[in-house]
Structure 1
């Protein structure tokens, strides 16, 4: 009789473990879905940040080219950024020419 009680307790504990496993698996599915949604939201926010950053740079460039008052540091920074941007454009043009020639 003690053996039957021992087996019954083991079966009860096993059923409890199975229920907990199913619960954890359900939570895991929900958490994976939440992660996917958060990653999509993060990607959208990063795209928005990149767009706004680009708009800000263009606004700064437009402001400086229209003769907006600036101090020496701003002017030097603007010149440095413009040189960098022009060099990037030249590199991109060179790559395009190389592709056209190949």
Structure 2
């Protein structure tokens, strides 16, 4: 169990790429999108750091968060993988946050 009040955010594509040679113009536009973010217990986030994806894969593999471990299976992080992750997170949210409207006195809430 992770205390979400203590969780920190990590950018899959680095928030500040270490060199201009590692800047991806497509991912740069999406670096603050939900699909490019992962949450971590504070002690784990420092392991990932501001490094390129390939250098963070082992940190993802060892994370206690399953959504992070899933990232370690990817060969690379690019626009295609970001798009797939966006769809996966949307599906997960729809399944996890769905509800059945309650009937109250003959009225069904919207």
- TM surpasses 0.5: no
Bigger radius of gyration among the two: 1
Between Structure 1 and Structure 2, the one with more helix by share is: 1
> How high is the TM-score relative to the length of structure 1?
0.28
Between Structure 1 and Structure 2, the one with more strand by share is: 2
Greater RCO (Cα-Cα under 8 Å, separation 6 or more): 2
